[in-house]
Amino acid sequence: MFSACSKKETVDSLPDNITVGISDAISFPVSGSSKSANLGIDPLTGEEIYMHLRNFIYVGELSADLVEDMMISLKKHNITYATAFSYESIYDGKNKNVVVKENVSINDTTWDYCLTVSDEELGTAFQLFWNTNPLEVIAILQPRAFDFSTIRNPNAMIKIEYSENDPDYDKTMIVSVTKMDSTSRQYMSNLKFFAGKNGDIISLYGNSTHPYMALLNENHTNGRAFCFQARNDVLNDIATARIALPTILQTDMTNIWVDFSVYQVLSEEIDIVYANVDQTTLAQIKNVFLAKAIGPAYFTGELGFVSNSDDIPDHEGFTQDFMNMTGLTPWAPFEISQMTITFSTDSTVVN
């Protein structure tokens, strides 16, 4: 599948920036946890569901930062040409083998360079394809093979697609993560999101897969997908977002923001779980869970979720133009639930 040819005299420096810089307003760890992809075990209110969106985006951004750190760590080896060498990793003390090739073709796309790092025991750990002008990057990382001491999410795979060659954005980033720990009822297994930046504004959309997730109804099957669309003003550190909660089997995205809105899904589960309570009690329960469930939601850097629906924050940045999320459509949940990330295993030098 891969081929390489025409060796150049020098290799441009490894790229060291493949992120778009999402602000804290929409990317921040929940409850001070820096790595958790868990929703916890208690039933979630509409407000709490929107609060957790920041955590999912943060997990994706953290994954991109990890890949970026790997690239920066390789820079100290002063790679200036197509080459092959070995080194002892500063992360786990194990030997890693590095191969750099030039003019590599993958699926009819030619890349200026390809770098592969492999572990003597665990195989391929990191693969990087990049073009220099304009900058375009595909990076694939198996954290466990790059750092054998890693114990969290040992089977996880990360893929970052970064570009400064998109006609609609100054820069774009697609983060994909698979095989996260899904042993807990509410854990996230897969994640994929797009972030496109123009000036200080970032447009986002994506999905997270929770194979066994239940909101209130413990008998619910087929899990839930967090489908989201969002916009982030980095300079003002504000954001707006909308969430839909279909099952992970959903393939049709038509009218998803209505049929599977946070409000609609929670309402349906409340009616199932509390079918036998009196109307007064039912109204009280719905008030607790649904009071802030109607989207869109609004976020600020200091507080995170601050309000929703028609309660637009008193901040000049929340303009109608900024809050317009038209066209930001996530992938179908079933597609993301079946997503896989693999390395290239066939790279041939063409004389």
Q: Give per-residue pLDDT as tens, 200-219.
A: 999 999 999 999 888 889 89
pLDDT computed for residue 182 by the predictor: 60
Q: For residue 166, tell me if it sits in a domain.
A: yes
CB atoms within 10 A of CB 151: 8
pTM of the predicted model, to two decimals?
A: 0.90
Diameter of the chain measured on Cα atoms: 79
Block residue for tokens 């042993």: 183
In single-letter form, the type of residue at position 138 comes to I
- Dig out the tokens for 275 from the structure: 């079918």
Q: For residue 68, tell me if it sits in a domain.
A: yes
Whether the Cβ atoms of residue 36 and residue 9 lie closer than 8 Å to each other: no
Burial grade of 211 (CB within 10 A; 0-12, 13-18, 19 or more): middle
**Which residue range(s) make up the domain with 266?**
2-342
Q: Name the stretches of the chain with pLDDT < 50.
A: 1-10, 32-41, 347-351
**What residues pair up with 158 in beta bridges, in sequence order?**
141, 177
Q: For residue 350, tell me if it sits in a domain.
A: no
Q: For residue 20, tell me if it sits in a domain.
A: yes
Tens of pLDDT, residue by residue over 299-350, are: 999 899 999 999 999 999 999 999 999 999 999 999 999 999 999 765 444 4
Strands 95-106, 2-4: parallel, antiparallel or unpaired by DSSP?
A: antiparallel
Q: For residue 347, tell me if it sits in a domain.
A: no
pLDDT computed for residue 11 by the predictor: 53
Helix, strand or coil, per DSSP, at residue 89: coil
Q: For residue 348, tell me if it sits in a domain.
A: no
pLDDT computed for residue 257 by the predictor: 97
Q: Domains in the chain: how many in total?
A: 1
Q: For residue 75, tell me if it sits in a domain.
A: yes
Q: For residue 274, tell me if it sits in a domain.
A: yes
Helix, strand or coil, per DSSP, at residue 87: strand
